[in-house]
Amino acid sequence: MSLIRINPYAPEEELIGQASRVLKKGGVIGYPTDTVYGIGCNAFDHKAVNRIYDLKNRDHSKAMILIAADLIQIQDLVKEIPESAQILAENFWPGPLTIVFELSEKFTALTVGNRNTVAIRIPDSLISLSLLKSCGFPIVSTSANRSGQPESVIAEQVLETFGSELDLIIDGGPTPSSLTSTVVDVTRPKPKVLREGAVSILEINTVLDIL
């Protein structure tokens, strides 16, 4: 297991490339986001995804969030981007808001949970975005903790929890928030907040009628 320190304000291309290569080879890494530290892998690598479920002791029926670099990566994954999602994206992306979409029929083999929907966000983290652009595919983004345990906000906590069970850990310093992302489901006639986190329900309601 390697631990590499990357500047969160100016991610070093060589180090991002190192982490990207681990993901491309089917590895699982720990990395910082704009909320808490996550553990992730190539969203299309079934073996790596299942490994994350086992690492977290997470029920395989529970979906995991994906992060993407931009709307182009998202368009390939979802059936459509409804108007409500466009409004949310314009106001809160990049940022700590996760949107639940209908999954494209082309990707029914995804093993990140529910087979009909997919939860995606674009993070406001230069390390995450650089990594996504380098590897070219969406990454699983689930908090770096065992299920039911506190989230990690520094790399040392990720190391303490998982250690050599991960292939690489990126130390990008403390995360700017200890809150997880807010999750909004736009697959229903009226969007619904499934989990309130870093973006409040009231903030969302200023741009989209959800109350």
Please state the domain extents for the chain.
2-205
Q: 206: exposed, middle or buried (C-beta count within 10 Å: 0-12, 13-18, 19+)? A: exposed
- Predicted local confidence at residue 124, as pLDDT: 97
Output the pLDDT for position 76: 84
Average pLDDT, the chain: 94
SS3 of residue 104 by DSSP: coil
pLDDT for 209 equals: 87
| pLDDT value for 34 | 95
Please tell me the predicted confidence (pLDDT) of residue 46.
92
Measured distance CA(37)–CA(49) in Å, rounded: 17
Residues of the chain with confidence (pLDDT) below 70: 109
The per-residue pLDDT for 113 is 72
Q: pLDDT at position 159, please?
A: 97
DSSP 78: B
Tell me the pLDDT tens digit for each residue of 100-140: 999 998 887 677 777 789 999 999 999 999 999 999 999 99
- At 210 the pLDDT is 84
126-135 vs 13-24: helix crossing angle, rounded to 10: 50
User: How distant is the alpha carbon of residue 153 from its chain centre?
Assistant: 15
Helix (H) or strand (E) holding 2: strand 2-5
pLDDT attached to residue 61: 86
Q: What is the pLDDT of residue 178?
A: 85
The pLDDT value given to residue 70 = 94
Domain 2-205 carries which CATH code?
3.90.870.10
